[in-house]
Amino acid sequence: MKQSNHFRLLKLRKILFEETDEEHELDIYEIEEKLKQAMDIDRIDHRTIKNDLLALEEMGMEIVRNRRKHGKIFYSHQNKLFETYQIRMLSDAILSARFITPNEKEQLLEKLKQLTSIHISKTLPHPVLFSQTINLDYELIKLNIDTLHKAITEKKVVCYQYGDFNTEKQFIFRRSGDLYFVEPYALIWQNDLYYLVAKFIETDEFRHYRLDRMRHIEITDEVFKRDKQFSLQPYIDNTFHMYSGEAVVMEIIFHLSLLNAIFDRFGMDVSIEAVDEEHFLLRTKASLSDGLVSWILKWGKRARVLSPERLVKRIKDEVDGMTSHYGHK
């Protein structure tokens, strides 16, 4: 009998959690019908259901009672673990992540739907509505995340092979397939891809590696001590678009039409000042890299670098190279 009571209580909790929310309620008769179907029984007393509702409340489950016309009471559980907008944001994040394979997205979204009512879960977008800009058919990446997370927690050196795709779309290892030995510090989700931030032991410098380009990751027995001088946030802030390079203070004049693009990239606290009615000056730190150069060039004549001189020269050289490709008129 006790087991039956416990089972009924669990089924009632499941019904309230999955089938009710702010927009959907159940009266005592509807709850009775659903319990009879769930438990495969012919009858259940309403007083038993009401006692079970009180028991669930005593255990911490919030149950809302709404008294409607003729005193009829409707029951619902509205205090979900996640709000609808939070579920939607998590869903969109999963769908937009390029490192997650379509199959894995399907599984994650099905689990996510279990955190809210069936009515809200039906409103969530389906993966087919989103295009995948990069097809990373590499299922082992989820195992790599677990492996690297464990190595970071235990402060153990890891080794792996690293590579890129060639024009034949074949994966080719760098360094002729030699292993990389690194001290792992953090996993970073940047630009819809996962990166490992680590100290490359061979050169004793911090670098970052795309997780989808790492192969055959193994945790060694060697334990390392974290560099107390290293701070993750400044590394991320100064590593422009996840490209490494020398940190410099740069000054660039932009057209006013790019003001919000600059805020989007650097945040509202970035140092800017008006130059005239159509231009403003950006002064900030960034990594002197190919990624930085490409980002500046994409704005065309709406951006003009003032300093440092090394960056000015690289922009000029790139522009001259582009001009030579198309010839002079």
pLDDT exceeding 90 applies to what percent of the chain? 49
- Kindly state whether residue 282 falls inside one of the protein's structural domains: yes
- Decide which of 186, 207, 235 is a domain's last residue: 235
* Cβ contact 292:266 at 8 Å: no
* Band of residue 2 on the pLDDT scale cut at 50, 70, 90: very low
- % of the chain with per-residue pLDDT over 70: 92
Do 150 and 230 fall within a single domain? yes
Please tell me whether residues 10 and 59 are part of one structural domain: yes
pLDDT of 16 strictly over 50: yes
240: confidence class by pLDDT, cuts 50, 70, 90: low
pLDDT band (50, 70, 90) for residue 243: low
> Is 17 within a domain?
yes
CATH of the domain at 194: 2.30.30
pLDDT at 74 over 50: yes
User: Do 59 and 104 belong to one domain?
Assistant: no
201 plus 248 within the same structural domain: no
Whether 210 and 168 map to the same domain: the answer is yes
318 and 248 together in one domain: yes
Whether residue 253 is found in the same domain as residue 319: yes
Find the range with the poorest average confidence among 20-29, 133-142, 173-182.
Answer: 133-142
pLDDT of residue 1: 41
Residue 301 has pLDDT above 60, yes or no: yes
**Residue 105 pLDDT level (bands cut at 50, 70, 90):** confident
**Residue 9 falls within a domain, yes or no?**
yes
When mean pLDDT is compared across 82-86, 210-214, 239-243, the lowest value belongs to 239-243
What is residue 258's predicted lDDT score, i.e. its pLDDT? 94
For the entire predicted model, the pTM comes to: 0.64
Q: Mean pLDDT, the chain, as a whole number? A: 87
Q: Which two tokens stand for residue 49?
A: 């259901």
What integer is the mean pLDDT of 33-37? 91
Among 266, 200, 271, which residue's Cα sits nearest to residue 230? 200
Phi, psi (degrees; rounded to nearest 5) at 67: -90, 120
Q: What residues form DSSP beta bridges with 274?
A: 280
Q: Is the pLDDT of residue 21 over 70?
A: yes
pLDDT in tens, 159-213: 999 998 887 878 899 999 999 999 999 998 877 778 999 999 999 999 999 888 8
In a domain, 140, yes or no: no
Confidence at residue 144, expressed as pLDDT on a 0 to 100 scale? 87
DSSP summary character for residue 112: H
Tell me which residue of 8, 16, 9 sits closest to 40, measured CA to CA. 8
Which amino acid, residue 113?
A: K
Classify residue 22: in a domain, yes or no.
Answer: yes
- Rounded CA separation 146/151 (Å): 9
Q: Residues near 282 by Cβ (< 8 Å), separated by ≥ 6? A: 250, 251, 252, 253, 254, 262, 266, 270, 271, 272
**Domain membership flag for residue 136:** no
Structure tokens at 106: 């399907």
Q: Who wins on pLDDT, 1 or 325?
A: 325
| Higher pLDDT among residues 125 and 105, named by residue | 105
Q: Are residues 93 and 71 in the same domain?
A: no
Whether residue 137 has pLDDT greater than 70: no
Residues 26 and 118: their CA atoms lie apart, in Å, by 14
149 lies in the same domain as 108: no
- My answer on whether 226 and 272 are in the same domain is no
How confident is the model over 131-155, as a mean pLDDT?
75
* Cβ-proximal residues to 142 (8 Å cutoff; 6+ apart), any chain: 104
Report the pLDDT averaged over residues 301-310: 96
Domain coverage including residue 154: 145-235
5 pLDDT more than 90 = no
197 shares its domain with 274? no
Residue 180 lies in a domain: yes
Q: Which among 168, 201, 235 is the end of a domain? A: 235
Provide the strand spans (E) within the chain.
26-27, 64-67, 73-76, 156-165, 171-173, 180-190, 193-200, 205-210, 214-223, 246-255, 271-274, 279-288, 303-307
Q: Taking 50 as the threshold, does the pLDDT of residue 135 lie above it? A: no
Does the residue 138 lie in any domain?
no
Residue 296 has pLDDT above 90, yes or no: yes
- Which of residues 235, 258, 287 is at a domain's end? 235
Asked if residue 105 and residue 176 are part of one domain, the reply reads no
CATH of the domain at 69: 1.10.10.10
Q: How many domains does the chain have?
A: 4
